[in-house]
């Protein structure tokens, strides 16, 4: 490449990007920018750029490729500002979805393709991995979402279930969880086993309330259209025309996972979510999730979507915490393997 061409490339990379957001709406613009421009500062610090604005006119100073990503984020947030107030969490989620390490930001047409519609809100997957997950869930009967907390795997599964129920593609939603203690003692909690497990299903309840409303969820629970079923209660059942979500599946034993997967009948969709790094089984028991990943990897009609720290859509520190624990576990495994080889 000639010096002249190289100089032109650098100039292009440094080229400022100017654009207007329409319509020019003062309240929405204030929501987009945040109090004292905190939302713009959040984007600036994450992408190493400078954002200048006057009214609905914006100028982004920095690497041109990164500036285009920032422009797309601002445009998306401005669209969202029509329906709701912009929060730091929303800015963070859009930054995660548009991460420079990820594939380029998707078009609105692709957004429309993957959007899940529920009575009270539309749920859009963030980033290519969540989009892949939603696509798999919509096109396969059995789906695994595997990865750390905060990656949206359970929330998106609930949204897909609600959409399927609203379209009358299924007759009921079944929420399943293994009754495994995570440092707590279930025996000391009041009520029967189903009531004991209810607190552990709170994230699923919260998602349902957000998408359907409290009153409608309670009515559906009363009519048994939404059912809570501890995994231990699944034996002997055949589940047809149902949307089944097995949460915290890393705490299933191999036998329980096989039992669950063979309960699925005609017209049903199952989504199995879990985090192999959060296993609470007793020593000596193998995780059914880990076993299923190995055994079912090439079975037609079963999909696997694997999430990692880059897909976390919670506080930025959560991503760093996940990375730190992963690093620690890898170092420990390496040390154990080295000690084992030395002893042999």
The answer to whether residue 343 sits within a structural domain is no
Q: Do 277 and 146 belong together in one domain?
A: yes
What is the total count of domains within the chain? 2
pLDDT over 70 at 317, yes or no: no
Task: At 118, list the tokens.
Answer: 């529920």
Strands 50-54 and 57-61: antiparallel
If we measure between CA atoms, which residue out of 205, 208, 197 comes closest to residue 234? 197
Q: In this structure, is residue 63 part of a structural domain? A: yes
Residue 148, pLDDT score: 87
Give the pLDDT score at 270.
95
Q: 231 and 118 in one domain?
A: yes
Domain of residue 185 covers: 108-313
d(CA 94, CA 88): 10
pLDDT tier at 324, thresholds 50, 70, 90: confident
CATH classification of the domain holding 56: 3.30.1370.10
Tokens of 222: 């009363």
Contacts of 125 (CB under 8 A, 6+ apart): 114, 116, 131, 133, 134, 152, 156
- Cα dist. 125→190, 192, 261, 316 in Å? 38, 36, 26, 18
Considering the domain architecture, whether residues 81 and 160 belong to the same structural domain is answered as no
For residue 48, name the pLDDT band (cuts at 50, 70, 90).
confident
Q: Taking a C-beta distance cutoff of 8 angstroms, is the pair 305, 144 a contact? A: yes
Packing angle, helices 153-166 and 202-212, rounded to 10: 40
What confidence tens digit (pLDDT) does each residue in 254-305 have?
A: 999 999 999 998 999 999 999 988 888 888 888 999 999 999 988 888 999 9
pLDDT at 28: 94
The contacts of residue 319 (CB under 8 Å, 6+ apart) are: 309, 310, 312
- pLDDT tens string 22-37: 999 999 999 999 999 9
Examine the domain organization and report whether 198 and 262 are in the same domain.
yes
- Residues of the chain with pLDDT > 70, as a percent, come to 79
Q: Which two tokens stand for residue 127?
A: 């980033």
pLDDT digits (tens, 9 = 90+) for 157-213: 999 999 999 999 999 999 998 875 444 444 444 555 555 556 667 778 888 999 999
> In this structure, are 66 and 126 located in the same domain?
no
Residues 84 and 198 in one domain: no
Q: Are 113 and 241 in contact (CB under 8 A)?
A: no
Is 37 part of a structural domain of the chain?
Answer: yes
């Amino acid at each position: 490449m000639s010096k002249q061409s190289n100089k032109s490339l650098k100039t292009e990379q440094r080229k400022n990007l100017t654009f207007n957001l329409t319509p020019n709406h003062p309240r929405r613009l204030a929501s987009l920018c945040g109090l004292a421009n905190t939302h713009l500062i959040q984007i600036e610090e994450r992408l190493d750029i400078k954002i200048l604005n006057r009214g609905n006119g914006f100028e982004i100073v920095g690497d041109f490729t990164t500036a285009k990503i920032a422009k797309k984020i601002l445009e998306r947030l401005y669209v969202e500002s029509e329906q709701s107030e912009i929060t730091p969490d929303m800015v963070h989620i859009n930054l995660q979805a548009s991460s420079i390490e990820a594939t380029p930001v998707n078009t609105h047409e692709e957004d429309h393709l993957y959007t899940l519609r529920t009575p009270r809100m539309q749920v859009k997957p963030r980033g290519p991995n969540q989009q892949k997950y939603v696509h798999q869930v919509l096109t396969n009967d059995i789906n695994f979402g595997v990865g750390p907390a905060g990656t949206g795997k359970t929330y998106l599964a609930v949204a897909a279930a609600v959409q399927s129920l609203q379209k009358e593609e299924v007759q009921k939603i079944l929420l399943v969880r293994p009754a495994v203690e995570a440092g707590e003692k279930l025996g000391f909690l009041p009520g029967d086993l189903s009531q004991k497990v209810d607190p552990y299903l709170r994230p699923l309840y919260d998602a349902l309330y957000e998408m359907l409303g409290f009153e409608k969820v309670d009515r559906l629970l009363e009519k048994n259209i939404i059912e809570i079923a501890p995994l231990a209660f699944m034996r002997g059942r055949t589940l047809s025309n149902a949307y089944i979500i097995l949460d915290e599946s890393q705490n299933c034993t191999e036998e329980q996972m096989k039992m669950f997967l063979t309960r699925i009948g005609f017209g049903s969709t199952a989504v199995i979510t879990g985090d192999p790094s959060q296993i609470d089984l007793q020593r000596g028991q193998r995780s059914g999730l880990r076993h299923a990943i190995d055994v079912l990897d090439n079975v037609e009609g079963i999909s696997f979507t694997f999430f990692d720290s880059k897909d976390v859509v919670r506080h930025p520190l959560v991503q760093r915490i996940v990375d730190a624990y992963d690093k620690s576990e890898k170092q420990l495994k390496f040390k154990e393997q080295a000690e084992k080889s030395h002893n042999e």
